[in-house]
Amino acid sequence: MSLTRDQIRRVAQLARIALPAQEADVVLERLNRVLSMIDQLQAVDTEGIEPMSHALDVVQPLRPDAVTETDQRAALQAGAPAVEDGLYLVPKVIE
């Protein structure tokens, strides 16, 4: 399996990564190399093996339902570029 330039552009767009045209070819080649390794993995016979969703054979610990985090707005917003009335401000988005 190998990718096309259009697919690379689309993936970059979905991930909001700026990808100048001259870099697209380099990225395409690198990703295709990764994909060829994945192709190798795909060739392994996995018949009868249950898929894993995680590399570790442990399960999710659960926490009790208790409020442990108090209001830290001032500290968290100290690093934000723009805030007003307790809100984070971002460039205008309209549905």
> Could you tell me which residues come within 8 angstroms of residue 83 by beta carbon, excluding any fewer than 6 positions away?
77, 89
- Return the residue of 18, 41, 66, 78 that touches another protein, per CB under 8 A: 66
Q: Is 89 in the site for another protein (CB under 8 A)?
A: yes
Contact segment (CB under 8 A) with another protein among 17-25, 26-34, 41-49, 80-88 equals 80-88
- Residue linked to tokens 């990703």: 31
- According to the binding rule CB under 8 A, does residue 44 interact with another protein? no
Task: By CB under 8 A, name the binding residues for another protein.
Answer: 10, 13-16, 53-54, 56, 58-69, 71-73, 76-77, 82, 84-95
